[in-house]
């Protein structure tokens, strides 16, 4: 990099005398990027990066990850400090608006979210259209998408006030939809949100309360859930966030964009992994079976993966997994669960994998999902709700990233190109001439 902070890369196309100069752009921290936007015009070639492992798709000021060092920062603040000292709604304000709120801003923000928790009553009828055994993520995806049909007064993406109200609506109402998806699946009456409860408290209340008796939200569980929500709130340009940005780049409304993010999160390679970890632990069953399971994972002919392990960006311990592991022990302790066979099995599985050459050489470490399922299960959440809870937390990250994108004057429709390897041009054959 030159003294004045500018640098370029010069590419020369072999066998021709064509070359292109690409500007290098430096971030605040982390690797610089080569700005390739002029490459096609100058050399007539595209870049090829399936899975986007080497592509910075946008400029962002929200979240920073150093995958080699295991660092995660929200707006510059280390996740460990936020997890210890902050609350989910404070973190939501930070992600959305760029700064931690002062006391007055905090009150106003919390008021804004907690006064938007109720759903339009007509939305209730949507739930009845689903089968009782529908996966909560299917319901969440459908009902959040349907919000665009109800909140017409906040759909103008070019109006900052509409964007603000939509963000409040999403952050506030997605927990109600998730809780109702659960209630519907078990045939219990919907529990309406209560504005006197905190964010995590309210979610626990809507999931676990019934009209026939009083339900007191455990402060220990509320704090643990709040922490889990903080850890899942944002994670840079992951698959679901990129999906939200791509959908949003067309000018689609925020409710439709977040529904797209929910669909992307559902996959087992992404947010669905927390559910898959518990299924995996149940299948392994006992520590004695671990070597056999690890053998299957390492077998190239099997499609078995060690769920909750590995990450596209982290080539070190996921910092969220460290906090999650500690929290897991604390929550089980506070709940009076002395020996949890699942936790013992997970700890042993982690120990075996971290000493196995296969995982060591590929830098595969536990990710956030390895322990989150065990905590959520201990807290009384059914496995099918795990990914839906992840979606509740990530809604904050999605809407913050969507807002940043819409407010970026250089934003254009996301439209990747391709390396075409299909048939070259050919002429249509009438049916009688086809073999």
Minimum distance of ligand ACO from residue 256's CB (angstroms): 22
What are the two backbone dihedrals, phi and then psi, of residue 319, each rounded to the nearest 5 degrees? -60, -30
Is the Cβ of residue 116 or residue 135 nearer to ligand ACO in the bound state? 135
Asked if 388 contacts 225 with a C-beta cutoff of 8 angstroms, the reply is no
Asked if 348 contacts 409 with a C-beta cutoff of 8 angstroms, the reply is no
Say which residues have a Cβ less than 8 Å from residue 148's Cβ, sequence separation at least 6.
155, 253, 255, 256
Neighbours of 361 (CB within 10 A): 8
Q: How far is CA 31 from CA 67, 139, 196, in A?
A: 11, 40, 45
Nearest to 328 by CA among 309, 346, 311, 350: 346
Is the Cβ of residue 35 or residue 236 nearer to ligand ACO in the bound state? 236
Contact mark string toward ligand ACO, 368..397, x via CB under 6 A: xx----------------------------
Contact mark string toward ligand ACO, 294..323, x via CB under 6 A: ---x-------xxxxxxxx-----------
Is the Cβ of residue 252 or residue 294 nearer to ligand ACO in the bound state? 294
Task: Using DSSP bridges, classify how beta strands 63-66 and 77-78 pair: parallel, antiparallel or unpaired.
Answer: unpaired
Say which of 208, 232, 235, 311 is annotated catalytic.
Answer: 311
Site size for ligand ACO (CB under 6 A): 18
Contact mark string toward ligand ACO, 134..153, x via CB under 6 A: --------------------
Judged by CB under 6 A, which stretch of 40-48, 54-62, 223-231, 360-368 contacts ligand ACO? 360-368
Encoding tokens for residue 239? 């698959």
Minimum distance of ligand ACO from residue 270's CB (angstroms): 4
Minimum distance of ligand ACO from residue 310's CB (angstroms): 2
Determine the straight-line distance between the first and last CA of the chain, rounded to whole angstroms. 60
Site for ligand ACO in 98-137 (CB under 6 A): none
Please report the sign of the dihedral spanned by the C-alpha atoms of residue 144, residue 149, residue 150, residue 154.
positive
Q: Which DSSP state fits 74? A: E
311 is catalytic: yes
Q: Is 210 in the site for ligand ACO (CB under 6 A)?
A: no
Judged by CB under 6 A, which stretch of 141-149, 183-191, 201-209, 269-277 contacts ligand ACO? 269-277
Q: Give the CB-nearest residue to ligand ACO.
A: 310
Encoding tokens for residue 305? 């993966």
Judged by CB under 6 A, which stretch of 102-110, 252-260, 367-375, 378-386 contacts ligand ACO? 367-375
Helix (H, G, I), strand (E, B) or coil at 88: helix
Nearest to 327 by CA among 374, 280, 281, 282: 374
Binding interface with ligand ACO (CB under 6 A):
269-271, 273, 297, 305-312, 362, 364, 367-369
Residues marked as catalytic:
311, 369
């Amino acid at each position: 990099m030159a003294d004045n902070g500018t640098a370029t890369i010069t590419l020369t196309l072999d066998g021709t005398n064509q070359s292109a100069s690409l500007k290098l752009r430096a971030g605040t921290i982390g690797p610089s990027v080569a700005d390739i936007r002029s490459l096609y015009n100058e050399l007539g070639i595209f870049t090829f990066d399936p899975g986007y492992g080497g592509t910075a798709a946008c400029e962002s000021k929200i979240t920073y990850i150093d995958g080699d060092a295991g660092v995660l920062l929200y707006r510059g603040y280390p996740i460990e400090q936020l997890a210890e000292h902050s609350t989910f709604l404070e973190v939501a304000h930070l992600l959305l608006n760029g700064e931690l709120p002062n006391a007055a801003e905090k009150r106003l923000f919390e008021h804004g979210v907690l006064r938007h928790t109720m759903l339009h009553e007509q939305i209730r009828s949507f739930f009845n259209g689903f089968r009782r055994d529908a996966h909560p993520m299917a319901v969440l995806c459908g009902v959040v998408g349907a919000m665009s049909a109800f909140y017409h007064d906040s759909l103008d993406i070019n109006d900052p006030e509409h964007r603000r109200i939509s963000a409040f609506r999403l952050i506030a109402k997605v927990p109600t939809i998730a809780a109702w998806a659960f209630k519907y699946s078990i045939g219990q009456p919907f529990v309406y949100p209560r504005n006197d409860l905190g964010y995590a408290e309210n979610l626990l209340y809507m999931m676990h309360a019934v009209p026939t008796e009083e339900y007191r939200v455990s402060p220990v569980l509320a704090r643990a859930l709040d922490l889990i929500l903080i850890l899942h709130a944002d994670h840079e340009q992951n698959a679901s966030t990129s999906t939200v940005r791509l959908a949003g780049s067309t000018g689609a409304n925020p409710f439709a964009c977040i529904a797209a993010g929910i669909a992307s999160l559902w996959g087992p390679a992404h947010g669905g992994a927390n559910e898959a970890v518990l299924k995996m632990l149940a299948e392994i069953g006992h520590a004695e079976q671990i070597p056999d399971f690890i053998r299957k994972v390492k077998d190239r002919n099997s499609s078995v993966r060690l769920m909750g392990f590995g990450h596209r960006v982290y080539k070190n311990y996921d910092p969220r997994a460290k906090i999650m592991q500690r929290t897991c022990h604390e929550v089980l302790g506070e709940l009076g669960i002395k020996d949890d066979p699942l936790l013992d099995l997970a700890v042993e599985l982690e120990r075996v994998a971290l000493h196995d050459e296969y995982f060591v050489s590929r830098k595969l470490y536990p990710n956030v999902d390895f322990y989150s399922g065990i905590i959520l299960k201990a807290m009384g959440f059914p496995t099918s709700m795990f990914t839906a809870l992840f979606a509740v937390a990530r809604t904050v990250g999605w809407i913050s990233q969507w807002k940043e994108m819409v407010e970026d004057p250089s934003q254009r429709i996301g439209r990747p190109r391709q390396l075409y390897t299909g048939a070259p041009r050919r002429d249509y054959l009438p049916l009688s001439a086809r073999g």
